[in-house]
Amino acid sequence: MTAILNQAEALCREIAPRDLAKERLYIVPQSRLPAELCGASVCDGYTGPSLDLHIQDEIGPAWAGRGACMVVNDATLQAETDPRDFEQAMYAVIIHELTHILERPTLYTDRTDVDPNLLIFERLVLADALTRGESADQPIYAGHAWQFVRLAIHACERAFSAGVYVPPSAVCAGCRYGLSHVLRYQDALGDEPDRLAKLTFREIHRTTPPPAFIDLWLSDLNAHNSTSRKEPV
């Protein structure tokens, strides 16, 4: 597991060399966390702008100060994945969570002089949230809208250029998010991942995507809204 995690961190830095630069990145297997943070988790992985503080004790001696942080549910992936596919499944979750990290305004939130009791409370809230499914009052794509899909495609393309193939369909879009298959979004992006390969993800986020990409998103959004407005039979 340590070897995979080290390789995964190196891959993340290849994907986003300038975004991560000298920043710390903590990739933590869920199997190392206490029962309240992993016993009933419904997530393959998760991240948060203060996650490194919430699980600082579990990160242990590797914690060297504030940094971007993600947890990967290695136990569930191992139980549900063919051993030959386990490494790729881990990479898919890690790229997914990395995209969430890169989509934020900052990699992590500055919590200088934060009250330790507040961190304890937030950890309890996190533990409770991990046992719940998606909120019924939010669209199925919540948190994974067009901005996320776009950056995830870029991340997968960069991973492939670094010698690691992870199908974008394992990372974003598709029916599990109520969206078109990611291949349609890839086609709509065209050569953008190649053209913007030298940009940071923050710089990509500030550019306008191709009209075909936005058109596809709006089509998916309209289809979702039309379905949501239908009366139950």
Structural domain boundaries in the chain: 2-129, 146-229
SS3 67: strand
Q: Rounded distance, CA 82 to CA 233, Å? A: 40
pLDDT at position 133: 62
pLDDT at position 126: 85
SS3 25: strand
Q: Rounded distance, CA 73 to CA 38, Å? A: 8
Strands 67-72 and 45-47, how do they pair? antiparallel
pLDDT at position 131: 77
pLDDT at position 135: 64
pLDDT at position 42: 66
pLDDT at position 232: 43
pLDDT at position 113: 82
SS3 51: helix
Q: Rounded distance, CA 212 to CA 219, Å? A: 10
Which residues of the chain fall short of a pLDDT of 50? 231-233
Class of domain 2-129: alpha beta
pLDDT at position 13: 98
SS3 230: coil
Encoded amino acid at 227, one letter: T
Q: Rounded distance, CA 96 to CA 224, Å? A: 23
Residues 6+ apart with CB under 8 A from 107: 19, 20, 23, 49, 67, 68, 101
